[in-house]
Structure 1
Amino acid sequence: MELKHLRARQSRLLIVPIIGALTWTCSLLFGEDSGELFVQGARSPQLAGSLTARNDEPRRSLIRTPGIDRGSLVQLRAAKKQTGEKIMHGDTVYIKVMTGRYVGELDGTTKLEWVKARGKQKDKEHALTIEKMNNRDEPVKNGDVVMFVMPTGVHMDVLGSAVRARYYDPRGEWQKITIVKQDGGDIYSGDQIFLRGHQGEYLDANPLERAPDGEVKARWRDEGEWQVMWIEK
C-alpha cells in the first residue's frame, strides 16, 4: 500500500510541470487568459467552444514595436513624402546622381552631345525641363513616360549604353524615359528616383574616381547603387 501511495504521489508531481508548460503554450497561442481555460478544461465542457471562438478573432502579435505603432509609421512616412512640391509637366527640375553632382553639361570630342553630371549646384547650366507624354494636367507619378529638355534646348536621348542630347523631338522613341519611384505614387521634389531608357536599361553614373568627367550611361537593368538619382526643384 505504501508503494502504491508513493507512485501516485510521483505521478501527481510529474503532472504539475506538464500542465504548467501546456498552460504557457496556450497563453501564447490563444491569449493571456486561455491558460486558465486549459486548466479548467478537464472539468469544463465549454472549453472547445471557447477556443474555437478565439480562433475566429484576429491573432494578436507577440512582437511589439516600442513607442510607435504601424499606423503612425505609415502616417509619418506619408508626411515625409509630401514635404516637397509635386513635379508637374513643364517644371524646371534638377537631376542629382549618386556622386552628388547635377546633370547638365554636354561634352564630346567632335560634337557636344554626351550627357555629363558635373554640376555642384542648381543653376541655369543644370536646369532641365520635364515633359510628360500623357495626362499633362496631373502630377508626374511613378511609371510615367517623360522627356528631359537639356539647358541647350534639346532632349536627352538613350541609344544602347549611350546617353546623349542631340535633337528636340517630342515624338521620338529614343527620348522616352520612364521615371520610377520604388514606393510608388506621385513624384515630389527631393524624391529618390530611377530613370529607365526606352530599351529597358537604367541611367547610371560612375563613381568620380572611375569617371572624373561625370559620364552618364545606360548599361544595366538594375535599380542599384549607381542608378540612384534624386529629382529636385
Structure 2
Amino acid sequence: MELKHLKPRHSRLLLASVVGILVWMHSRTVLDDLGDLFVQGARIPGSIQSVSTITRDSEFRHSSIPTMRMDRGSLVQLRAAKKQTGETIMHGDTVYIKVMTGRYVGELDGTTKLEWVKARGKQKDKEHALTIEKMTNRDEPVKNGDVVMFVMPTGVHMDVLGSAVRARYYDPRGEWQKITIVKQDGGDIYSGDQIFLRGHQGEYLDANPLERAPDGEVKARWRDEGEWQVMWIEK
C-alpha cells in the first residue's frame, strides 16, 4: 500500500506508529545497556550481552574474593616471617644477653667474692657465653613466659635475691635461679629478639647507664618493663 493513496489522517497515524515502535526499540536497547552497566560495573554503552555471559562474569568476580583474601593472609605471614630475626632459642643453647647499654652480660666482680653479675662485654666471646636451660618442655623452643635459668661462663647459675643479681651456685632446682623470659608480643623467642628478664620475686633485671654505673652492674629493682630493663638475646 502506497502512502499517496492514504488519506492525510491515516498517513499521520501510520507515521506515529512507526515512530512509536522505533522509540520503544531504542528504549529497550538503552535499558539493556544500563542493566549491563549495573551488573558488570563498567561497560561501553551500546554493547548487549547475553544472560549466560553476565552470569559467568558474576561467578568469576565472586570466585576471586577468596583468592584475594588468601593472598592477603599470605602477605601477613610473609611480614611475620620477615619480623623474625634469627633462629629459635632452644634448651641448652649458648646465648648472649645484651643490656640497654649495648654491653654483654658475663663478668663476675665483687670486693670479697667474684659473684656480682656485670655487663661490660663489648663482643660475643667465651667470657660472655651463657647457657640457657628450660625448666619444662625442653624439646620445644623457648617461649614468652617460660621459666629458664642461665649458666654463667664460670659454670654457676645466675641468681636473684632482693635487688642483687649474682652467680654463686649451680642449682638446677633452686628458686633464686628461676628467671621468667618475657617477649612483649608473645610467641617463640628468636635470636635477636628484644626481651625482659623477670626474677622469681617479680622484679625485672635492669642495667644502669654507664655514666651512672661504669662497672656495668646488673640489678633487679623494679616491676617495670622500662628502658633500663630492655635486653636482647642473641646466638
- For normalisation by structure 2, the TM-score amounts to 0.68
Q: Which runs of 4+ in 1 moved over 6 A?
A: none
Partner of 1:144: 146
How far apart, in 2, do the equivalents of 1:174 and 1:187 lie? 22
By how many angstroms is 1:183 displaced? 0.3
How far apart, in 2, do the equivalents of 1:171 and 1:158 lie? 14
Map residues 1-233 of structure 1 onto 2, 5 A cutoff.
74-233=76-235
What stretches of structure 1 of length at least 5 have no aligned partner? 1-68
- Alpha-carbon contact 2:199-2:220 (below 8 Å) kept: yes
Partner of 2:42: none
Tell me the SS of whatever aligns to 1:143. Answer: coil
User: How many residue pairs get matched?
Assistant: 166
Which one has the largest radius of gyration? 2
Against the structure 1 CA distance between its residues 75 and 216, is the aligned structure 2 distance closer, same or farther, given a 3 Å change threshold? same
Letter in 2 for 1:200: G
How large is the RMSD of aligned CA atoms in angstroms? 1.7
Letter in 1 for 2:166: R
Give me the identity figure in percent: 99
More helix by share: 2
- For normalisation by structure 1, the TM-score amounts to 0.68
Against the structure 1 CA distance between its residues 92 and 221, is the aligned structure 2 distance closer, same or farther, given a 3 Å change threshold? same
By how many angstroms is 1:74 displaced? 3.9
Letter in 2 for 1:189: S
How far apart, in 2, do the equivalents of 1:128 and 1:148 lie? 6
Q: Deviations 1:21-66 (Å, cap 9, x if unpaired)? A: xxxxxxxxxxxxxxxxxxxxxxxxxxxxxxxxxxxxxxxxxxxxxx
What stretches of structure 2 of length at least 5 have no aligned partner? 1-70
Task: State which drifts further: 202-211 or 74-83.
Answer: 74-83
- Alpha-carbon contact 1:192-1:228 (below 8 Å) kept: yes
How far apart, in 1, do the equivalents of 2:75 and 2:142 lie? 25
Q: Deviations 1:128-165 (Å, cap 9, x if unpaired)? A: 00000000000000000000000000000000000000
- Alpha-carbon contact 1:81-1:191 (below 8 Å) kept: no
